[in-house]
Amino acid sequence: MITAERKPLAEIKESIASYKKLLILGCGSCVAECASGGEKETALLASQLRIDAKKEGRTLETKEMTLDRQCVYEFIDQLAGVIGEYDAVLSLGCGAGVQAVAEVFPRAHIVPALNTTFIGQTKQAGLWLENCRGCGDCKLDFFADVCPVTRCSKGLFNGPCGGSKNEKCEVDPDTPCAWQLIVTRLEERGKLDSLEKVHPPARWSKKEGKGPRKIAREDQRT
């Protein structure tokens, strides 16, 4: 899923300083999964901001709403009758959600409450790890299902670099060396010889290409 973390409270407060009526908008998908923007987190942030306003003698009226997905118009449309009553929307959606809401309601001020971070997996309760960089040219099959673009700090395709220590990356002793994993897995499967050939340079145009990427499926469009 896409992971995100709540921005420092000081940043959020600064963005909403002038507002007295706020719609606080959560999202029930990725950010709920990583405990940063779901219904629960929305309620907590709202409560925190209300208490803070009381403490500072400000008026702040809030409404909490959580959409199934903030990046899909079908759900954003639910805000139609509601959004006009508020000075601004504090969105706990990921960057995609914030922007989608802003497109549907361009005159509203949609304030991001989260810093969107990465595509990752839930490794354990409370622990999320990045494992995909959306390179658009998936090579997992060559690397025993360990993504070198994401999990090797240097993105090597012909690693390891030689800097790892105790099977951990030289950059962070908590990060496993991706190439250690790749080589060990292939060895266990008896497929180490697949690494003999030099893996050619990546096609970064699939990622960086021509600006923001898009997918258009004619069979899906009305």
Nearer to other proteins, 5 or 39 (CB): 39
**What residues contact 30, with CB distance under 8 A and at least 6 apart?**
1, 2, 3, 4, 94
CA distances from 62 to 42, 204, 222 (A): 11, 44, 37
Nearer to other proteins, 84 or 103 (CB): 103
Write phi, then psi, for 118 (nearest 5 degrees): -150, 175
Query: Which residues does residue 91 pair with via DSSP β-bridges, in sequence order?
Result: 25, 112
The nearest distance, CB 25 to other proteins, in angstroms, is 14
Nearer to other proteins, 78 or 213 (CB): 78
Query: Which residues does residue 88 pair with via DSSP β-bridges, in sequence order?
Result: 22
Applying CB under 8 A, the residues found at the interface with other proteins are 9, 28-29, 32-33, 35, 38-40, 43-44, 47-48, 50-52, 54-55, 57, 68, 72, 74, 125, 153-167, 170-171, 177, 180, 183-184, 187, 192, 195-196, 198-202, 204, 220, 222
Q: Is the separation of the CB atoms in 165 and 173 below 8 Å?
A: yes
Note the maximum CA span of the chain: 69
**Angle made by CA atoms 155, 157, 163, in degrees to the nearest 5:** 65
The nearest distance, CB 107 to other proteins, in angstroms, is 27
The nearest distance, CB 168 to other proteins, in angstroms, is 9
The nearest distance, CB 66 to other proteins, in angstroms, is 8
Nearer to other proteins, 21 or 54 (CB): 54
Nearer to other proteins, 102 or 161 (CB): 161
The nearest distance, CB 101 to other proteins, in angstroms, is 17
